[in-house]
Structure 1
Amino acid sequence: MTATTATTELPTGPSDAAETVAPAPDDAAAHTSVSPTARTLWRRSRWYLFTALALLLVGLLIAGISGQSTFPALDPRSGDREGTLAAVHLLEKRGITVRTVDTERDLEAAVRTPGATVVVPRSDLLSTAQLRRLAAVPRGEGRLVLIAPQQPALDQLMPGSRVAGQTEGPANLVDTLTTPAGCTLPEANRAGSAELGGLTYLRGADDTGCYARHGHPTLLHRASGGRETVALGTGDPLTNDRIAEEGNASLALGLLGSRPQLVWYLPDYSAPAPSVARKSFTDYVPAGWYWATLQLAVAAGLAALWRARRLGPVVTEPLPVVVRATETTEGRARLYQRARAHGRAADALRRAARHRLAAALGIPATTGDVPEAALCAAVAARLGHPAADVQQVLYGPAPTDDAALLRLTDDLDALERQVRQP
């Protein structure tokens, strides 16, 4: 017996001798293969891929169209109606340096800088602790401009001033209309009438009130040495769509251009405070995407059901070529030999030998394999050999090389031959 046949799995019964398989010749296999090719898979799935790509492009297009401006109101970088880019251009033409800061540390540094005008457009979104820290910063000889400050900001940055109507209930909000200056503030006198409104205020002892509406000013100015604080009831006269109306441009240049530097505080107000728990990724996913995912899952399920019904059940087909079972056995033996699977080959040989010996001795295989104790005892009694020797041949350890596998094959052949012809 050669090394090739030694690794061959022996037939396990009479039916194996008539085993039929379908390894047709090369030309026939090329024409009768039922495995899908790359071309077939592409033909079947291309419409699904095109549909998914189209949905993705439409979703991106809708997201891009429906996306809102990235700039908030009164942003000096924004050219929208509510932006202040036009006022910034006018200031830059006069030699004013304009920059933006977005951190509290930079804001405090700007407030300390002499010769700087600092604009806080959304002071109502600052916490009380932030306002208290800002009020405690030693200020240089500059100007701090608060746009539509609420009472908490006034208490910290302009103590003594109040929002009109705040004590009785909601603050008094008035429409933005052309209003005369009506005060001695130089910037307001040069501008003349301007479009003011929004919040109205009650003046403190050191305040100058301008542009009064219903008896309450919409602009407060407080000076203490070289430090100035301005409260503006609305940012409308600074916006791009109103800068050219009345004396708005002159007022904007006067309030924001009195110092060589202009610093605009623009933090990310949507970001959570440090004390707030961090959000997970799913918190930032819009609710509509969950419904879209559910709809896609339902559509995928329906498509799978449709394709399954279309393909139908598996249909058996007679094979075009009949070959001998020994060819399959030899092919498997060559695979074992190439993989150096000595243990797998030995296990196949032993299992086949055990089944043939059990059939010859009348021992039933109740669980798919032959009972070890019964088979070893029957073979030992038949041949008069020790049961341990029989067990070593039929159930021993796996061989580690080709020579040991050949010896095991010879021992199995001899054992089976002696049992059949004692």
Structure 2
Amino acid sequence: MTLEATLPSTSVSPTARGLWTRARGIALALVLLLAGAVAIAIVRSDARHGGLDPRSADPYGSRAVAELLAERGVDTRVVTTLDEARAAAAPDITLLVAVPDLLTQGQQSRLHSATAGTGGRTVLVAAGSSSVEKLVPGVTADPATSLDSTLSPACDLPAARRAGTADTGGIRYTTTHLDADECYPSQRLATLLLVPDASGGGDTVVLGAPDILYNDTLDEQGNASLALQLLGSRPHLVWYLPSLSDDSVTDPADEKSLFDLLPSGWLWGTLQLSFAAVLAALWRARRFGPLVPERLPVAIRASEAAEGRARLYRKANARDRAAAALRSTTRTRLAPLVGVPVPQAHAPEALLPALSAHLHGDGQSLHPLLFGPPPSDDTALIALADQLDALEREVRRP
């Protein structure tokens, strides 16, 4: 005989709505993270785009000073690698280094060796303590910057006296060179230095702030005059824009590992957190010793235990184990009803003939139901449970 389930089958497979309900929190967090990253990128890229670039017409670009120099016969060439900057060093060249602090210590040393004694001029714009001591030995950057942006020359340098007041604030410098011109002082420290090169007739200009080169401030004070005199002393101007992506020079001494880049405080903090985690684990760990049986504080109903076990099976996609448990339990309950000893309930040759005789059938449909393969999906598993329940009710019927 063929048994059909009397209860409607219900699919427990996750639906699209259920998946969306579970994942919408994570999706919202990802969207907010992406929006924040885009906003930060826009804020960081709008104002300083093309900063100190002689090709840029942005407020913080330097195209205006390059065009004024071109009218006076000074051609400007932009380079972005250290190799190009070193090759450009010559007596008729003014080499401007826009952001010296972007250079590594090895690159700073090689640039200084290439420009020293050539007879040309090197202009360093806003060189901090990490670069000025390498590029101009004998010059030191003061940690405190100038509080005033507009300063007076207060020196005998002809270019500064002709320009007059200018926006030269920023970093302040001290020097051990007795023949250096110290101009535009702020609290008795210079914000513009001109250090002669005793060996080759050239010189180095250290400028504390880039304001006199910006497009939007070039026409203020004596900025234009000072910029043109400092950059126009030679017929050619090489404008070096250092970049973090400059891979033209590779020096093993400049290569650092990940641990070298981490501050020492992070390493000590990580060590302390690891030690605290080990102590917490030892404090909360279960003590070793023999197992001690304990009485449960509450009684758990059989239906709740069965439901919890079923949920575990579903979470692990263990349909084979769930089907085996259902069939084994059904066989164990059916065997006494048809006169088969319980130890033989799981033997098909003993259980199936007795069931067929009790139900007056041939028993062909009972073998795949009680001893068949595991179901392929959740729907088939539910159908199997319904059919086993229907079979048990049929056998128990008077």
TM-score for both structures, normalised by structure 1: 0.47
Structure of greater Rg: 1
